Chain A
Amino acid sequence: MELQLELQSQRSPRRFLPNPAKLAVNALLLLFTASCIIPLLWIGYSSLKTQAEFANNILSLPSAPQFSNYWEAIKLTNMLQLSWNSARVTFLSVIGITAIAYVTGYITARLDFKGKRAMIFYYLFGMLVPIHALLVPIYLLFKNWGLADQWYTLIIPYIAFNLSLPIMLVSSYVMGIPREIEEAAAIDGLSFSGTMYRIILPIAIPVLTTVAILQFFSCWNEFSFALVLLNDESLRTVPLGMSYFKSQHSTNYPQLMAGMILSMLPVTIIYFVFSSRIIAGVMAGSVKG
Chain B
Amino acid sequence: MGKALRPKGWVLVAYLLPGLLIYSFVVLVPILAALRDSFYSWTGGPKKTYIGMGNYKEILQDDVFWHSFLNNVLMTAYGLIGQVGFGFVFALLLMSKMVKLKGLHRTMSYFPSTLAPVIIAFLWMLVYNYNYGLLNAGLTKLGLGALVQSWLDLTGPIVLLASIPLSWQNIGFFTLLMLAGLSSINKEVLEVAQLDGATGVRKAWYIIIPLAKPTLVVASLLCIANNMRGFEHIYALTGGGPGNSSSVMALYAYETSFLRFRYGYGSALAIAIITLTMLMILLSTLLLQRRNHSKGGA
Mark A residues whose CB is within 8 Å of B.
3-9, 12, 19, 21-22, 25-26, 28-30, 32-33, 35-37, 39-40, 42-43, 54-55, 58-59, 96, 100-101, 103-104, 107, 110-111, 113, 119, 122-123, 125-141, 156-157, 159-161, 163, 167, 179, 182-183, 186-187, 191-193, 195, 217, 220-224, 227-228, 238-239, 242-243, 246, 253, 256-257, 260, 263-264, 267-268, 271-272, 275-276, 278-279, 282-284, 286-287, 289
Given known A29-B94, A193-B11, A264-B116, contact A141–B5 (CB-CB < 8 A): no
Given known A193-B7, A256-B122, A283-B180, contact A113–B98 (CB-CB < 8 A): no
Residues of A within 8 A of B190 (CB): 7
Closest A residue to B204 using CB positions: A7
| B117 contacts A by Cβ under 8 Å | yes
- A110 to B1, Cβ gap below 8 A? yes
B119 contact from A30, A130, A239, A284, Cβ within 8 A: A239
Give complex CA distance A227, B172 in Å: 27
19 extra interface residue pairs, beta carbon distance < 8 Å, beyond A8-B96, A22-B98: A7-B96, A25-B98, A32-B105, A100-B22, A103-B15, A104-B15, A104-B16, A129-B31, A133-B253, A136-B34, A137-B31, A139-B258, A183-B1, A183-B2, A192-B6, A228-B258, A242-B118, A276-B107, A287-B180
Residues of B within 8 A of A157 (CB): 26
Give complex CA distance A286, B221 in Å: 12
Given known A133-B249, A136-B254, contact A287–B99 (CB-CB < 8 A): no
6 A-B contacts (beta carbon < 8 Å): A29-B99, A54-B132, A103-B15, A130-B250, A140-B33, A183-B2
- B108 to A33, Cβ gap below 8 A? yes
- B123 to A55, Cβ gap below 8 A? no
Give complex CA distance A132, B123 in Å: 22
Give complex CA distance A19, B99 in Å: 12
- B114 to A126, Cβ gap below 8 A? no
Residues of A within 8 A of B37 (CB): 137, 140
CB distance from A161 to the nearest CB of B (A): 7
| B183 contacts A by Cβ under 8 Å | yes
B23 contact from A33, A123, A133, A141, Cβ within 8 A: A123
- B1 to A182, Cβ gap below 8 A? yes
Bin the interface of chain B by size. Answer: 35 or more
A35 contact from B33, B168, B182, B254, Cβ within 8 A: B168
Closest 10 A/B residue pairs (Cβ): A8-B97, A130-B229, A221-B116, A137-B30, A160-B26, A133-B273, A132-B250, A286-B177, A132-B231, A192-B7
- B99 to A136, Cβ gap below 8 A? no
| B106 contacts A by Cβ under 8 Å | yes
Residues of A within 8 A of B168 (CB): 35-36
| B222 contacts A by Cβ under 8 Å | yes
Residues of B within 8 A of A260 (CB): 119, 122-123
Main secondary structure of the interface of A (DSSP, over half): helix
- A128 to B278, Cβ gap below 8 A? yes
CB distance from A13 to the nearest CB of B (A): 12
Give complex CA distance A191, B127 in Å: 59
Residues of A within 8 A of B49 (CB): none
Residues of A within 8 A of B258 (CB): 136, 139, 228
Given known A3-B179, A7-B190, A160-B22, contact A129–B108 (CB-CB < 8 A): no
CB distance from B15 to the nearest CB of A (A): 5
Residues of A within 8 A of B151 (CB): none
| B277 contacts A by Cβ under 8 Å | yes
- B232 to A111, Cβ gap below 8 A? no
- B274 to A271, Cβ gap below 8 A? no
